Chain A
Amino acid sequence: MTSAQPVPITGLGCLCAAGPNLSACMQNLFGGMRVPRPPSRFSTTHPVRFPVFEIMDDLPLPGAGLSRTCRLALAAAHEAVLDAGLPPDLLRGQRVGVCIGTTVGCTFNNEEFYRDFRSGGSPAPELVRRFLQSNPASAIAREFDLNGPCQTLVNACSSGTDAIGIAADWIRSGICDIAIAGGADELSRVTYNGFISLLITDSAPCRPFDRDRKGLNLGEGAAMLVLESARSASGGNRPPRATVLGYGLACDAHHLTAPHPDGAGLKRAMHDALAQSGIDVGNIAFVNAHGTGTPDNDRVESGVLAEMLPGVPFLSTKGYTGHTLGAAGAIEAAFTVACLTAGRIPASAGFVTQDPALPVSPVRTVTAVRTRAAMSQSLAFGGNNGVLVIGGSPA
């Protein structure tokens, strides 16, 4: 990769268990607040009620009739567009791209429908209609009446990171002048059962990078970034919040659910992201790590961070949000921008006891950082690795 033009980030929106908007999320992150609890919207027959990070049900969401994933995506998109100072009239009919990552949001796995079908019933097709209407990228394009390229990325847990990186590439290539990019995923009984079946879910609140970590907790949420070309952004009323400097993605080609033991794909993605950003490792102020709390992920990630970015502080925010799957990379990118703006990072929630098997550990307390640039990274099922290098506001 050669270095490329920075892409301005002009608007941000985020909601998850940490808060109903980005400002509230950051307040709770810096306050050390986290609210894992047993799932309230579904039940299972597991003997243990594994905690999750849910968004409170009393939060009003747009998009009635669509999937919860879509409604979360729309809420975050509205916040981001407002934050960018873009009147919806200005976007209507324009060539605005939408690139969204998800996992649950693209899967038709409705248990009620399927149970009826497999028992010989004739389930009404309304749930199918809702599924077909709930492609997250299409729903955002429809909501704002956009006329640009739509892409829903289903790269498992790196989807949100990849969506932002790909949208930034679209802006650089002139495919569109503005893009709404991010990720969204709802909590689902199906994924809850799935992750428990893989034995990588912690029955206690998750503890990323901690010696006693047992696995992840699922979460839900969405985050959106408004990306604009330099020409478009300079025409707006507000300076960019930050810039996408670089993006790298690479595949481990090793295992469907386990990372490469040496982090080969992650290293390559980090290398490519740095190369595209045109900045040196020394300019990375901090890393928002994937940090799920699973033994394998945290071991590999900590090894790669020690090798590639020695001495650079890092954290996992999944102790505040849970693992939001396709939304995770986008939520963490939004947090990264907010931390660059604040000049500090929160404590890595859930980290208490250093693991002697890990070469480096995350920050335990709120830590001041230089504001030049930061990295946000995601590792995913399928061996995908996505890395964003984000620059602080030029102002």
Chain B
Amino acid sequence: MTMRLAIQGLGPVGGFGSGTAALERALVTAASCPHLTPVPSFSADTAGLEAFVERKTLRRMDHFSRMAMLGAFLALEDAGRLTAGRERLGLVLASGYGAARTTFAFLDSSMDHGDVCASPTSFSTSVHNAAAANIAIVLDLHGPTITVSQFELSVPSALLTAGQWLTAGRVDAVLFGSVDEFCPVIEYGLQRLHADQNPPPPQSSPGGTVPPGEGAVFFLLTRVGEESRYGVITDIRLGTVANGEPRIATDAVVVVNDQRGAMDADTTAPVPAPAPPRAVSYTPVYGRLPVGPAFDMAIAALACRHGLTAATRNHAEPAAHPIPPPSHLLNAPSITCLVLGRDNTFGLITSSGRG
């Protein structure tokens, strides 16, 4: 759907650190390195949250909610709206798997101590919308709040509703965020599925896919009208890869979200993206996670604002979609973030610096 949404603030949190400067640094210097235990993954640190929220408030908050909350505060701070009125501010959150670790912590409580001793705290914080609720409580945000879970398409799907709210005047601004956490149980299942369907060819090296990641990215979105700090989202589309779809402008740079390793082989279509250098992938900067397209959106936003300097890769695998030289991004009239979902579905978010 054609929309015009202005990005006023960014709050990225991931294995690269937190804040726009950390993300830019990772893009430029390849400073984001996966941790090696328990399995290689990009883990996120939320220590920075204590600059915004008292420690006692965080006492019972799980890692999932903390990542989201840090992203939300960073986006508001980046937009210069930490203290602005929130009466007509909506909150839309996307998550592929929700608070997975807390979900299993709840199961631990009943498996370890019996059903009678199941933990009420773990149960209430394991619901998918717990992060949005915690953000609303801490920010005193009374506007509309939703959480969307559509696996790899969670971000474009949720963004569609955020855009609709703004376009229809339901709110004046949306804190649009995404969060997913690394969970060894789910990662094990994904890897088993992938391995079963994609037996490695003889003598191939392991790690042909990007390591899993975790983190949150938040955006403060408004209608176009006031000056946009990070360019404008011009198009959000979801659909099925068929009959020439998704159609992408011939002069756009396409950021392809690489979810290989997280999906059944028989549910994904070939990438309908142009060849390099117009197609790029930044997944190795933040890791593989369902809400990865939000990180791509953030990188596109930085490109729109700064003419983002080109990144380098820290992933050993040869680049399927190499990152282009900066001049190429600067010359592109638009950047399209593309993600493929199950059942040959796609999500597409296009931004432009020329709002």
Contacts and interface: CB of A to CB of B under 8 A. Distances in A.
Interface stretch (B23-31, B159-167, B226-234, B317-325): B159-167
Contacts of B168: 4, 169, 172-173
A190 B142 contact: no
A382 B132 contact: yes
A103 B103 CA distance: 12
Contacts of A177: none
Given A150-B157, A251-B144, A132 B151 contact: yes
B145 A154 contact: no
Interface centre among A45, A155, A195, A198 (most CB of B within 10 A): A155
Contacts, number: 226
Taking residues whose C-beta sits less than 8 angstroms from the other chain, chain B's interface range is 35 or more
Interface centre among B189, B192, B345 (most CB of A within 10 A): B189
B136 A382 contact: yes
Nearest to A193: B118
Interface stretch (A112-120, A277-285, A337-345): A112-120
Given A108-B97, A153-B147, A256-B134, A1 B129 contact: no
A141 B291 CA distance: 21
Given A45-B115, A153-B148, A253-B137, A132 B127 contact: no
Contacts of B343: 138, 141-142
Nearest to B243: A93
A106 B142 contact: no
A82 interface: no
A128 B189 contact: yes
Given A175-B164, A194-B106, A108 B186 contact: yes
Given A45-B115, A156-B127, A156-B129, A193 B110 contact: yes
A251 B161 contact: no
Interface in A161-199: 162, 166, 169-170, 172-175, 190, 193-199
Interface string A192-217: 01111111000000000000000000
Contacts of A197: 118-120, 123
Contact of B169 (A2, A142, A257): A2
Nearest to A382: B133
Interface string B189-222: 1101100100000000000000000000000000
B114 interface: yes
B312 interface: no
B331 interface: no
B108 A103 contact: no
B143 interface: yes
A151 B164 CA distance: 13
Contact of A155 (B106, B146, B264): B146
Contacts of B144: 249-251
Contacts of A250: 142-145
Interface residues of A, number: 78
A22 interface: no
26 contacts: A93-B242, A103-B128, A106-B128, A107-B98, A109-B104, A113-B185, A117-B185, A117-B188, A127-B189, A148-B238, A151-B148, A151-B150, A151-B161, A152-B148, A154-B95, A155-B147, A156-B127, A198-B120, A198-B123, A251-B144, A255-B137, A256-B133, A272-B170, A382-B130, A382-B145, A384-B129
Given A147-B239, A175-B1, 16 more contacts: A108-B186, A109-B104, A109-B106, A109-B107, A113-B185, A122-B192, A128-B193, A149-B157, A149-B238, A150-B345, A151-B157, A151-B160, A166-B146, A197-B118, A252-B136, A382-B130
Interface of B: 1, 91, 95, 97-98, 100, 103-104, 106-108, 110-111, 114-116, 118-120, 123-130, 132-134, 136-137, 139-151, 153, 157-158, 160-161, 164-165, 167-170, 185-186, 188-190, 192-193, 196, 238-240, 242, 263-264, 341-343, 345
Interface of A: 1-2, 4, 44-47, 93, 95, 103, 106-109, 111, 113-115, 117-118, 122-125, 127-129, 132-133, 135, 137-138, 141-142, 147-156, 162, 166, 169-170, 172-175, 190, 193-199, 249-257, 264-265, 268, 272, 380-384
